[in-house]
Amino acid sequence: MKLQQVLSYIRRAVDDYHMIEENDKIAIGISGGKDSLTLLYGLHGLKRFYPKKFEIHAVTVDLGFDNLNLDKIKEICKELEIEYTIVKTDIADVIFNQRMETNPCSLCAKMRKGALNDAIKATGCNKVAYAHHKDDVIETMLMSLIYEGRFHTFSPVTYLDRMDLTVIRPLMYMNEADVIGFINKYEVPVVKSPCPADGHTKREYIKNLLKTINQENPGVKERMFTAIQNGLKPYELL
């Protein structure tokens, strides 16, 4: 997938949900994975021609794993002339050594978001962009339905009143396959997650389940996404 196509998806989401306003300073949560790097390149590209002026600032929460190498991310940000902040934490030690969590993802996500939001406020940003794509939206809906008994997933725009911070999700119209296509075409260097739970989570199970359902019922993924959009009120979608 070409960068122009990525920009088209992002521009559509940004315009549909009024994600960006004049003089916004937007932090991008960078894990080093394919999704966050696609978002980084996408918002950098959008910034060049979008009618409303905005700034971007990349932020990574270092969970404290010894084998995390962020040198490639630093190089990308330097090349794109994007400010880059790395937040050092001991989250990995707390979860895997001190608490020895058997289901670590939920607590890790809460602690990581807390550290990320604090760092974002310190940079002076008023918004944060998360790299959740269309597959993430559908998978989260299925997880909520199966494990919690409710119909719920991400919002395109969410205002966090306690932090005075707005969350936006500009990749919400992109399929995961589109993200992979972009990363492969431009040979973007992805940083592999050092987390020992990576690939062994409920989300991974749901991802594989959705893939199977869509193979057996072609087009069902798109119909699920449409159902999510149609089932909720305007500006409360997802």
Q: What is the pLDDT of residues 197-232, one digit of tens each?
A: 766 678 889 999 999 999 999 999 999 999 888 765
Q: What is the pLDDT of residue 232?
A: 54
Domain ranges of the chain: 3-230
Cβ atoms of 131 and 171 closer than 8 Å: yes
What does CATH list as the number for 3-230?
Answer: 3.40.50.620
Q: What is the pLDDT of residue 103?
A: 75
pTM of the model: 0.90
Tokens describing residue 14: 């940004």
The per-residue pLDDT for range 34-70, each reduced to its tens digit, is 999 999 999 999 999 999 999 999 999 998 888 788 9
Least confident among 137-146, 155-164, 190-199 = 190-199
Q: What is the pLDDT of residue 200?
A: 61
